[in-house]
Chains A and B, each alone.
Chain A
Amino acid sequence: MTEPLLSVKGLTTRFRTERGTVNAVDDVSFDVAPGQTVAVVGESGSGKSVTALSILRLIPNPPGQITGGQILFEGQDLLQLPDAQMRAIRGDRIAMIFQEPMSSLNPSLTIGLQIAEPIHQHRGTPWQQALDMARGLLEKVHIPDAAKRLHTYPHHYSGGMRQRAMIAMALACQPRLIIADEPTTALDVTVQAQILDLLKDLTRETGASLILITHDLGVVARYADRVVVMYGGRVVEQGPARTIYQRPSHPYTRGLLASVPRLDGPAGERLVPIEGSPPDLAALPPGCAFAPRCRQVSDACLATRPKLRAIGTDHLNACLRDDL
């Protein structure tokens, strides 16, 4: 395997809450190879968004704090960088696309200005030239009438167009890594397909890597090369997308795949739900976080916290039971 572009090692992010300190991300490790699309999958409270924010060091402190681990990006540990150097990387080498395009765009600045800003900031390109480049970027994300649209405000844009503008902004400095946190959750399905196809095409074209954070298993199947499944702030399984879908190994991954109705599955049959609810991070059991909902739970699962271990080529699983 080639040298990974990003290597997250033992990342732990804590939050102080009224109910005590919780590990929103707990000893999380995964690699992203150049040009690869890695999906981080999980439900609410699984720590997938906090992982994304931690990579960019955007965790609000207080209440949050990255307490351990390394984030090696192009060989450099991002957690050791001074703030100024980190700022120089954000939006330049690593870009982020957020879920809510409306709340992450500034309503009082024109779209053009917002796309040109990182170019001006990071590259020192004069504003006029940066605006020209912004127009090119808008064309690249298929916004009709880009020259005119450059000077309009976010509220003139529809949901899908705003997300396109966000993608244009993310691409502005030709990042090596794009982190997209639920980029299409707020959009209609036909627009979702357009946006994700666009993102995939553009990353392919520029050779950038993509971390796609989502809860949608269909989206993962369509776009991801590699899948990291998170539960209760921990990685429970990871591997190549095909392996995860064909031979899911962790009971949570299996449960998740079985509980979702599929367009090509049998209709009208009872689904197999995962009983119980997603875990409360402030009251995690001492052993496996999934143990209280697991059908195959054993005594050991309640007492011992399982470690991620290799169970196949490039396939890691954190389940104590190897007989499953």
Chain B
Amino acid sequence: MARFIARRLLGMVAVLFAISVIVFLIFNVVPNSDPAARIAGKNADPDLIARVNADLGLDQPLPVQYVTMMKQIFTGQLTSYASNRNVVEQIWEGLPATFSLCIGAAVIWMSLAVLFGYLSAVHAGRFADRALTVLSLVGISMPVFWLAAILLYFLSFKVQLFPTGSYVDLTEDPLDWAYHLVLPWFTLAVLFIGFYSRVLRSNMLDAMNEDYVRTARAKGLSERQVRIRHVLRNSMIPIVTLFGLDFGMVVGGGAILTETVYNLPGVGLYAGEAIRSLDLPPLMAVTMFGAFFIVLFNTVVDVAYAVLDPRIRLGEAAPA
């Protein structure tokens, strides 16, 4: 286990390094991304641009700029080119909204996906299955920004059932917190509900033909016990894997659209603003934040996998 964690930590360092270099290089070749020119404004004279460049350290060679930026990130001193505000603090401030959105959506998508997938598999081929199939395909096909806009228009603007975005802190008023998050949760969850329920359905249909399920029936277990303890339990292993990866992805940047449309002051909204203003420091920090979560949840998935499937052991070399 210790070796496994050590290996994963090393891997994480490598991933973060690679991603940060790529982001840094891309930023430096994107046209019109020269921060000094943007800060100095239209019709700036070359002297001013040179001064700004010197201020921001942009006159240094690229490797030096890179090292300086990494130092600033890990000491929490990185500031935005555009607003001059501390980037790490900004991300920190965005965490409550982002985690509220992602965790809530994850609870909804996992429970509904398991429910729908289970019902679909149990009633395979019959009306309930077909209806759920159509529903999940619709869910998978709907773009997040479109769904969010439609929900906002009908349920917040026309019917005024829900607030039009914005965020209330959990500590301030838990009810209001949830009330403000219902639409964003649902918006973010829909895709995953559709996708996961399809995957679970097909896993369960495969598992139903397994010999150990026949054994479970021959043991005299009730159909419900057979389905839940043997079919569903074994079918959940791949779902948990997917979940870990997707949750890491959603926290690490997958919620940008949802946060932007619903105006939730999370990390995603911040990232969106940074992209619009081509502001390298927040972009770099947000990307590394995302990569960190994706690698972290990858590791969590591997641990969960070993817990769920006793045939898998951590820390041993994979068979060639």
Is the pairing of A and B real?
no
Residues of B within 8 A of A (CB): none
